[in-house]
Every structure is written in C-alpha cells, then in structure tokens.
Amino acid sequence: MNKTVLVTGGTGYIGSHTVVALQKKGFKVIVVDNLCNSSINALDGIKKITGEKPLFYKIDIARDKNALHKLFIKHGDIENIIHFAALKSVPESVKKPLLYYYNNLNGMTNILENMKKFQIPNLVFSSSCTVYGQPDNLPVTEKSPLRKANCSYGNTKRICEEIIADYLIVNQNINAISLRYFNPIGAHPSVFIGELPTGIPDNLVPYITQTAIGKRDQLRIFGNDYNTKDGTCIRDYIDIMDLADAHLAGLYRMIENKQKYNCEIFNVGIGKGISVLEIVKTFEKANNLKLNYKITDRRPGDIEKIYADVSYANKELGWKAYRTLSESLHNAWKWEQYLQKN
C-alpha cells in the first residue's frame, strides 16, 4: 500500500489536524499551502504532536500551475490527495464572489488535471453542508436536494463536487470521496494546533474564545428572531479530531477498494442541531466562566438551521463522531490560552 498523501491547505485548521491523524497512522505527508489564511507555525505544532514535520511547499495551486506540476514530478510516489485548499469565509464570499470562483474552482481543476497526468488514483475532497442551502427537511441526508447556496463559498463547493463527478465519468481510474462536513470546532487535546483565524473570526467558537480571553470586547450573536427553539441559528458542531478521522476513513475506503462507486459523498457531523446560545451556555459551563455577549442583526449569507443525518457515513465508512461538545469547547479554550502565552 502506497502511503504518501499530498494535503493541500495542510497548514489550515482542518488540514493540520488531518495531517496529525495521517502521520500517526504512518502516512508520509506532503503539505502544500499558500499561507493566505493559515500560519507556517502549524508545522511546528504538528511536529510537537507526532515527532515529525511534514514536507512543505508554499504553492498557490489556483494560480501557479507550473509549480504544482513540478511538485508532482519531484514526488512521483504520491498516490493520494486530500484537497482542503480554498478560500472559506462566508461573509467575504458574499462581498467578493469572483475571487472565490476563481480561487476555489481553479484549485480544483488543477488538482484533477495532475491526478490524470500522473495517474494518482485517490482523492478526498473537502466539501461542505453549505451545498444544501436552507433545506426544507431536517436532518439532511446525502440524497437531500441541493439548493443554491446563500454565498459564493457554498456555491463553489457544489460546483467542485459537480466537476469531480463529471471528470470521473470519463476517468474511471480515479476515485473520489467528497465529505460534506458541518461545523468543526475544538482543537487538538495537546493544544499545539487549533483554529487560528486571521482578523475578526467568522466562525462562532474562535469568536467566543477571543471574547473570553479579552481580545474582543463582546461576542456578537447574529440574530435571535429565527424560527428555532431560542431564536438563534442552529448548526451541527463536530469536533475537529472526529472530522480528521473521517478523512482517514474515506482514504482507507479507497485504498482498500471498498467503494461502491468511484465517486461517493458522505455527510460528516454529529447528527444533532445545536443553537448558538446553547454553544455559549455550554462553553461557559465547560470552562467555568461568563461571556459578555449581545444580540445584533442577522448576518448576510447565514442560513437558519441545518444538521446532518450521518447514518450513511457511520455504516459505510465505519466512522462515528464520539467526542463531546463540552470536550470540544474546553479544548478550544485551552488552545486560546496557549496562544495568549505563546
């Protein structure tokens, strides 16, 4: 079994945790990232956890096809790719749609072109629950209808899935699994890696932790007039290490030739909807503190509620999320404290 994996976006939040999971299973990892929304310091955190720093190349895969091509020539042993590299801010994608279409779609097509050229068989694609838009029925299954996303970011994920599916029809020797994951939270228990947003966080939990530690004066909760149990948005929050394990499960499914089709899709979440206010209250309880927060207007691009049916992933991938919400929020707080000291 060839155990060399190229991880695009491997210094990012989800990418770095997945690199740790891969290295602990004995995979040789090569990381590619342009560092536009991540830090090179993630590699040091990975080394502290695993004892090994992955090979790293600073390449913009959407804009520098030549550098990407040279990478594949240099590393002819790559047989697996996990593709995270993409712009990911929902609010920014509303304001800058062309930037998101250019970056995320070009990155995807450049990866697929090289997979064919260098006969690389296995791809795990980082997709998103945003492809469902605002669903009519909950929980969403993999067969739920796809709606036009409320933001360009979500639309690029749907289009990338379509690009993969179309490409694999005529390239049957390539296998792909798209993981539609929900809201990752938490940090590695060692707190050597975690979520590190640039500027004001778009995601809820780093905004919470930055407020708790004093980087932000106040946590803003965007709307309390949604049709939900407490008026705040509902999401499916999954621990980052459970999510990393799902990528391993998808990779092994292809390596071990267990796929039913050469192009498959799985939801990855905990299968439960949790409101913003529930996250706030659980964080306070898990860490024995109080947050300063206020309700503000709704945020463009946000949907009201979504959570997953994950039974298909549980059955087919042999994977299940098992870390608790309190554990995830406690690790997120420990990570914020670690950043403050370092």
Q: Mind listing the pLDDT tens digit for each residue in 170-224?
A: 999 999 999 999 999 999 999 999 999 888 888 899 999 999 999 999 999 999 9
Exposed e or buried b for every residue in 299-325, given b needs 16+ CB within 10 A? Answer: eebbbebbbbbbebbeebbebbbebeb
What is the DSSP annotation of 34-72? Answer: --SSS-TTHHHHHHHHHS-PPEEEE--TTT-HHHHHHHH
Whether 133 has a pLDDT exceeding 90, the answer reads no
Structure tokens at 102: 């250019």
Q: Are 82 and 251 in contact (CB under 8 A)?
A: yes
Query: Which band of pLDDT confidence, cut at 50, 70 and 90, is reported for residue 304?
Result: very high
Whether 94 has a pLDDT exceeding 70, the answer reads yes
Mean of pLDDT over the chain:
95
Mean pLDDT of 237-245: 98
Q: Which residue has the higher pLDDT, 148 or 288?
A: 288
Whether 2 has a pLDDT exceeding 80, the answer reads no
Using alpha carbons, select from 29, 109, 94 the residue that is nearest to residue 62.
109
E strand or H helix at 220: strand 219-222
Whether 301 has a pLDDT exceeding 80, the answer reads no
Q: pLDDT, tens digit, for every residue of 28-49?
A: 999 999 999 999 999 999 999 9
E strand or H helix at 134: none
Q: pLDDT, tens digit, for every residue of 60-84?
A: 999 999 999 999 999 999 999 999 9
Q: Give the domains, in start order, of the chain with CATH numbers.
A: 4-185+237-269+309-322 (3.40.50.720), 204-233+272-308+328-341 (3.90.25.10)
For residue 308, which phi and psi values (nearest 5 degrees)? Answer: -100, 150
pLDDT score at 199: 81
Residues labelled catalytic: 153
* pTM over the 0.85 mark: yes
Query: Which band of pLDDT confidence, cut at 50, 70 and 90, is reported for residue 272?
Result: very high
Whether 1 has a pLDDT exceeding 80, the answer reads no
Q: Are 20 and 188 in contact (CB under 8 A)?
A: yes
